[in-house]
Amino acid sequence: MNKQEQQDWKRYIQGELPEHEREAMDKRLLEDQEALESYLAVLEHTSDTGLRDAEAFEKQVMSHIEHECKKLQSSSSGRNIQFKKWLNHKLVHYTLAASITLLFLSTGVFDRMLPGQLNVDSDDKQPYSEQMVRKATHWLDEIKPDPNQFHKSIKR
């Protein structure tokens, strides 16, 4: 077994080969007895060195996991705090209350809450809009000068 073949088997064991090369190695293992013996020799050699570094590897993985967890907690807690601050804002409460009220008004929820019909006085009162138009017209008439007085001042 040459050095290149050892490196290939080592990369195969560590999962560093591309898929097409890995499939070719799998096929060689099934068909070639010498390839299987080479693979087992490299595997034994690799597993011996792997056991020595297992504790270091475990510590490295655990520290990486802890670091990722802390990063996720800090980013999610930052978003969580911003969301809570946003929810405690008074404008949000007022907007939400107004939106719900408009929704209820538009769907007629308040109308259904009363057991009977609303009795509206249908007296022949003048509508408010007509009353306002008359008052505005009256004010404009008071402001507008009399046309007869305007002609008299021009003749002089």
Q: Where are the alpha helices (DSSP H) in the chain?
A: 3-14, 19-31, 33-52, 54-87, 90-107, 109-113, 128-143, 147-155
Report if residue 114 sits inside a domain. Answer: no
- Per-residue pLDDT, averaged over 109-121, amounts to 68
Rounded to 5 degrees, φ, ψ at 126 are -75, 135
Report if residue 25 sits inside a domain. Answer: yes
Residue 54 has pLDDT above 90, yes or no: no
Give the pLDDT score at 5.
86
Tokens of 36: 């299987």
Q: Any idea what DSSP says for residue 144?
A: S
Give the pLDDT score at 100.
93
Report if residue 26 sits inside a domain. Answer: yes
Count how many domains the chain has. Answer: 1
- Per-residue pLDDT, averaged over 27-33, amounts to 89
Report if residue 8 sits inside a domain. Answer: yes
Residue 57 backbone class (left: φ over 0; alpha: ψ -120 to 50; beta: rest): alpha
Does residue 147 or residue 35 have the better pLDDT? 35
Q: How far is CA 48 from CA 4, 41, 51, 122, 144, in A?
A: 20, 11, 5, 100, 110
Residue 90 has pLDDT above 80, yes or no: yes
Report if residue 76 sits inside a domain. Answer: no
Report if residue 14 sits inside a domain. Answer: yes
- Are 41 and 8 spatial neighbours (Cβ–Cβ below 8 Å)? no
Give the pLDDT score at 98.
94
Report if residue 119 sits inside a domain. Answer: no
Give the pLDDT score at 97.
92
Report if residue 141 sits inside a domain. Answer: no
Residue 96 has pLDDT above 70, yes or no: yes
In 3-state terms, what secondary structure has residue 114? coil
Packed helices 19-31 and 3-14: angle between N→C axes, nearest 10 degrees: 110
Mean pLDDT of the chain: 80
Give the pLDDT score at 122.
61
Domain hosting 8: range is 3-52
Residue 71 has pLDDT above 70, yes or no: yes
